[in-house]
Structures are given as C-alpha cells and as structure tokens.
Structure 1
C-alpha cells in the first residue's frame, strides 16, 4: 500500500464545486489522487481519458467509483463534458489532469497543459485547486504495467491555494485566453511539485508538439 503525507490540507475546500488539477506521471495517479480526495472529505470524480479505463487496477477503480471517461474525437466526448458540468452544477468535485496524459518530460516535470480545466473553471466561475504529488512512480513507473505496493511506498502531496484566474474572467474564451489561463494553472502545479521535490523545474516546460516535430524533422524555428 502507500503512505500519504498531505501538506496544507486545509486549503482543500470542504464544500462547493471546484476543479482539482494535479500533475500526472504514472497510470496509477488516479487511484492515488482519488484516495487523497476521499481522505480530505470529498467524493472524487475524474474527467479521465477513456484509455485509462483499460489499465489494470486503475480501470477497475475508475469504473467502480463512477468516473467519467472522455473519448476524444467522437460524440461520447461531448457527453462526458456534459456529465462533468452537471457534477459541477450540483456542487461536486471534478478532477482534471491539465496535461491530458502522462507527462513526457524526461524528469517527470509537468509538461504543457491542455485547456479543458481552464475552460470549465472560467465558464462555470469555479475555483481550480492545484495539487502536486511525488512518489507514485515508485508504485507504478511511467508506462509500466507492473504495480508494487510492498514494501509500502511514501507519497508526498501538497495542496495549493486556488489558482488566480481573475485576469481572465469576463474575457472572450478564445484560444489565446485559454492558453494563458492554462499556463497559470500549470505554473501553480509546477511550483508545488518543485517544493515537494526540493528541486528547480526546467526553465522551459516540455512541449510535446515541438518535440514531435523535431523527431520527425518537421520542426521549424
């Protein structure tokens, strides 16, 4: 099993709707974040990519706990977003991984985020609570299918203050606004993780699109 050390747990809202935005570097992360959310007195609901539901243990946990699969590029994806919005409207908690998938940063720092969390927060005027954790890679390494609960692993979790998105409220939610807001969210998560790790993050956040272009010889500038 795992032993959690949760820092600043009082920053986790006890009531009302909000988005939990954690870092993501192991397929076992949803189980761990779900356990932390439960320990802090809220029922976890994930907006998670559909492929996670096929991962051993993780998929079982997601299905049994009523999580919300997001199937991109089809109608089910829209239905998933509607389900998440209903949870928010009813005062629930939705956990969204802003990175969209496991970070591809070689040192497991958060990579460039996607705009789903920022959009939902701004459209529904609800807070985003950044969360960083470190240690789940010892339970299940990135891209691994092996899980190791014994001996018990230590997982450190740090809860942050609500992300200040006031500069973006009332603005047209175009790509530029959402990307700026997402950067603020990712900065908050990265700052928490740097504190947990006692290290400085990279000067530039890993951008999967740029690295894909470099690898295929299509990167320009």
Structure 2
C-alpha cells in the first residue's frame, strides 16, 4: 500500500533495486505500517529504529519508499570493501561509517550535510543488532542525537518487530514460508528543542547529547512496547558492561577476567 508517491529522483541505483527487492519483501512479509503519516513528506530529518535483524534496512527502506521518501543510511564500512557493492551503495547515497576511527567524523559530517539538503538519514542508534536476550532495545550511541542537535531537524522514532522471524539475528538462512508479519509503528518526533542551545555551550555539549540520546532510545522503546504488547526491562542492555564485542556474534564475548 503506497501512501505517498515518491517525488524526488530515484537515481539508477534505486531504479535498479526497487523492482527486485520490493516484490521479494511483498512475497515474504505481511506489512503492518502504523503512524506513517508522521513521516515528513519533505525536508531533512533523522529516522531512528530498533535493530533486530540484518534485513531491517530493507524493511525500513520499504516503509520510507511507501511514504514517498528515499533512505540514506549510515552503513558499516565493511559493506564497502567489495568494489561492486561499494559502487552501488554510494550511487544510492549511502554513507560509510568507519567505527572507532577518526574517519567516523567524516560520516557524521556527510550525514549532517544530507539532512541539510533535505534528505532522510536512517540511523540505528544501538549501532548493531540488539544483544539483549529478549531483543529489547539496548543503550544507544550518540550519532543520531548529534546529527539532530547540529541541524535542528526532526527525529522520528520507529518501533519495529517481526523482522527477526524472517531472518533471526546473526543467522544467514531466512525463513521465507509462511510470510512473516512485520510491524512498524512510527511515533511523534522526539522533542529535543530545549537541548539545542545547550549543545552549543562549552562544557554542556556532552550532557546535552547524552540526554538527547536517552530520549531517543526511550521513545523507540515505548513504541516497541506498544508493538509487542509487553513491558521492556527497566534498564537497557549495555554491551560495555556485558563484555560483548561491538561486532560479530554476541556469543564471542570479550575476556573480562
């Protein structure tokens, strides 16, 4: 069900991918898009979602495309190691992120510029698929908050559930039959207005960014609770405390002894 028609040019990469990917998603999933009218029809904004499966970016792109927007992702740099894939991803406007390096600043600058050009930048604030045992949202990273505070753009939260049934976390074999129900609930923009001025003041910047991040994760978690009909843990899972590596399978835990 297309709610809004795409107004911006797709470019060759999306023109190539959409006729292939969208029919596959329609054949393997049942969509339950809720609150899509809250996705801005025009202008730059950041879309933030919880992360439960490697197919999440395809499903988020489907949601946005059905509401007349194209996604620009902050994508792991490892995806750009293949030259052909890197060529395609860059043509589609995706932004490589080199984690834990000085190059990450370049990704932040590119995301800020994309928002200022009026584009939708998609961010998974957890930084990776959740390591929470019950797949609840984890403690968030600050990238989405920093982009929002730098640009003053809306931050639109989404709570999603069901993608893990299509492709379980950290697995490679999808379960295509029967079709899996995927629910995405779009919430109201996260109110960060009171933090914008603090972000510009020396000495309070880090506090403002963390408060913004906490609000973003709280909004996402509330939406996930509504979708799942359950209550999230009082404290969000923190990979740093659990000795869980930032990349790879969650069972590959660091030796903290």
Aligned residue for 2:185?
Answer: 158
Whether 1:85 and 2:112 are equivalent positions in the alignment is: yes
Aligned residue for 1:212?
Answer: 243
Aligned residue for 2:31?
Answer: 4
Q: Distance in 2 between matches of 1:60 and 1:105?
A: 34
Aligned residue for 1:198?
Answer: 229
Give the CA deviation at 1:152: 1.7
- CA spacing shift, 1:73–1:202, aligned 2, 3 Å: closer
Q: Cα deviations across residues 20-57 of structure 1 (Å, max 9, x unaligned)?
A: 000001111111111111111101111122235579xx
- CA spacing shift, 1:54–1:84, aligned 2, 3 Å: same
Q: Does structure 1 conserve the Cα–Cα contact (< 8 Å) formed by 2:51 and 2:129?
A: yes
Q: Does structure 2 conserve the Cα–Cα contact (< 8 Å) formed by 1:21 and 1:128?
A: yes
Aligned residue for 1:137?
Answer: 164
Q: Does structure 2 conserve the Cα–Cα contact (< 8 Å) formed by 1:27 and 1:52?
A: no
Give the CA deviation at 1:66: 3.2
Q: Distance in 1 between matches of 2:63 and 2:88?
A: 14
Q: Distance in 2 between matches of 1:64 and 1:178?
A: 31
Q: Give the structure-2-normalised TM-score.
A: 0.77
- CA spacing shift, 1:215–1:146, aligned 2, 3 Å: same
SS of 1:170's equivalent in the other structure is helix
Residue range with higher mean Cα deviation, 73-82 or 137-146: 73-82
Q: Distance in 2 between matches of 1:54 and 1:25?
A: 24
Aligned residue for 1:46?
Answer: 73
Q: Which 4+ runs in 1 deviate beyond 3 A? A: 51-55, 58-66, 73-76, 213-218
RMSD: 2.4
Aligned length: 216
Q: Distance in 2 between matches of 1:176 and 1:127?
A: 20
In our comparison, the structure showing a higher alpha carbon Rg is 2
SS of 2:184's equivalent in the other structure is strand
Give the CA deviation at 1:74: 3.6
Whether 1:13 and 2:13 are equivalent positions in the alignment is: no
Aligned residue for 1:121?
Answer: 148
Whether 1:147 and 2:178 are equivalent positions in the alignment is: no
Q: Does structure 2 conserve the Cα–Cα contact (< 8 Å) formed by 1:49 and 1:100?
A: no
Higher RCO structure (Cα 8 Å, ≥6 apart)? 1
Give the CA deviation at 1:65: 3.2
Give the CA deviation at 1:59: 8.6
Q: Distance in 1 between matches of 2:87 and 2:159?
A: 24
Where do 5+ consecutive residues of structure 1 fail to align?
none
Where do 5+ consecutive residues of structure 2 fail to align?
1-27, 245-252
